[in-house]
Amino acid sequence: MVFSSMFFLWVFLPIVLILSRLIPKKGQNILLLLASLIFYAWGEPKYILLMLLAIAGNYLVVILMDRFTRAKKFYLIVAIVFNVGMLGIFKYTDFFIGLINDIAKNQVIEPKNIALPIGISFFTFQAMSYVFDYYRGEYKAEKNPLNVALYISFFPQLIAGPIVKYRDIRTQISERSMTSEKTVEGIRRFIYGLGKKVLIANTFASVVDGIYANDPIHLTGSLSWVAAVLYMLQIYYDFSGYSDMAIGLGKMFGFDILENFNYPYISTSIREFWRRWHISLGSWFRDYVYIPLGGNRKGEARTCLNLMIVFAVTGFWHGAALAFLFWGIFHGALQLLERTPWGKLIAKVKPLGWIYTTLAVMIGWILFRTESVGYSLEIIKRMFMPWKFTSGMYSMWEFVGARTVIAFVFAIILSGPLQLLLKKFCPKVMEKLKGSVLDLILCVGLLVLSILTLSANTYNPFIYFRF
Mean pLDDT of 273-284: 95
Among 159, 175, 191, which residue terminates a domain? 175
pLDDT at 464: 65
pLDDT of residue 419: 81
246-254 average pLDDT score:
95
Residue 1 included in any domain? no
In a domain, 388, yes or no: yes
Domain tally, the chain: 2
Q: Is 202 exposed, middle or buried (0-12, 13-18, 19+ CB in 10 A)?
A: buried
Q: Provide the CA 75 distance to its chain's centre, in angstroms.
A: 29
Q: Quickly count: other Cβ atoms within 10 Å of residue 406's Cβ.
A: 13
Which conformational region is residue 63 in: left (phi greater than 0), alpha (psi within -120 to 50 degrees), or beta?
A: alpha
Q: Let me know if residue 232 belongs to a domain.
A: yes
Region of 430 please: left (phi>0), alpha (psi -120 to 50) or beta: alpha
Q: Are both 73 and 156 inside the same structural domain?
A: yes
Q: Are residues 333 and 390 in the same domain?
A: yes
Neighbours of 184 (CB within 10 A): 16
Query: Is 406 domain-assigned?
Result: yes
What residues are labeled active site? Answer: 318
Same domain? 169 vs 186: no
Percent of the chain with pLDDT over 90: 68
Same domain, 197 and 94: no
If we measure between CA atoms, which residue out of 116, 86, 162 comes closest to residue 319? 116
Please say if the pLDDT value at position 192 is more than 90.
Answer: yes
pLDDT at 433 over 70: yes
The reply to whether 455 falls in a domain is yes
Q: What integer best gives the mean pLDDT of the chain? A: 91
Q: What span, in angstroms and rounded, lies between the C-alpha atoms of 54 and 58?
A: 6
Sequence-distant (6+) residues with CB within 8 A of 401 are none
Q: What is each CA distance from 426 to 266, 420, 421, 422, 432, in whole angstroms?
A: 18, 10, 8, 5, 10
From 152, 175, 198, give the residue that closes a domain: 175
CA–CA distance, 165 with 161 (Å, rounded to integer): 11
pLDDT digits (tens, 9 = 90+) for 104-161: 888 888 888 888 888 889 999 999 999 999 999 999 999 999 999 999 999 998 888 7
Give residue 379's domain range.
182-466
Q: Do residues 161 and 265 share a domain?
A: no
Question: Are residues 267 and 171 located together in one domain of the fold?
Answer: no
What phi, psi does 64 have (nearest 5°)?
Answer: -70, -40
Summarised one tens digit per residue, pLDDT across range 361-373 is 999 999 999 888 8
Domain shared by 171 and 218, yes or no: no
Q: How far apart are CA 90 and CA 177, in angstroms?
A: 38
Same domain, 122 and 228: no
Q: Are 467 and 7 in contact (CB under 8 A)?
A: no
Using CA atoms, how far residue 413 sits from 242, 258, 434, 438, in Å, is: 19, 24, 19, 18
Whether residue 224 is found in the same domain as residue 111: no
pLDDT at 310: 96
| 28-87 per-position pLDDT tens digit | 999 999 999 999 988 778 889 999 999 999 999 999 999 998 999 999 999 999 999 999
Same domain flag for 255 and 397: yes
CA nearest neighbour of 209 among 462, 444, 383: 462
- CA dist 2 → 194, 336, 380, 387, 437 (Å): 11, 38, 33, 43, 30
pLDDT at 467 over 70: no
386 vs 444 pLDDT, higher one:
444
Query: Are residues 371 and 243 part of one domain?
Result: yes
Out of 175, 192, 219, a domain closes at: 175
pTM tops 0.85: yes
How do residues 157-188 score in pLDDT, each as one tens digit?
A: 888 879 999 999 999 998 888 888 999 999 99
Q: Are residues 138 and 249 in the same domain?
A: no
What is 401-446 written as a DSSP string? -HHHHHHHHHHHHHTTHHHHHHHHH-TTHHHHHTTSHHHHHHHHHH
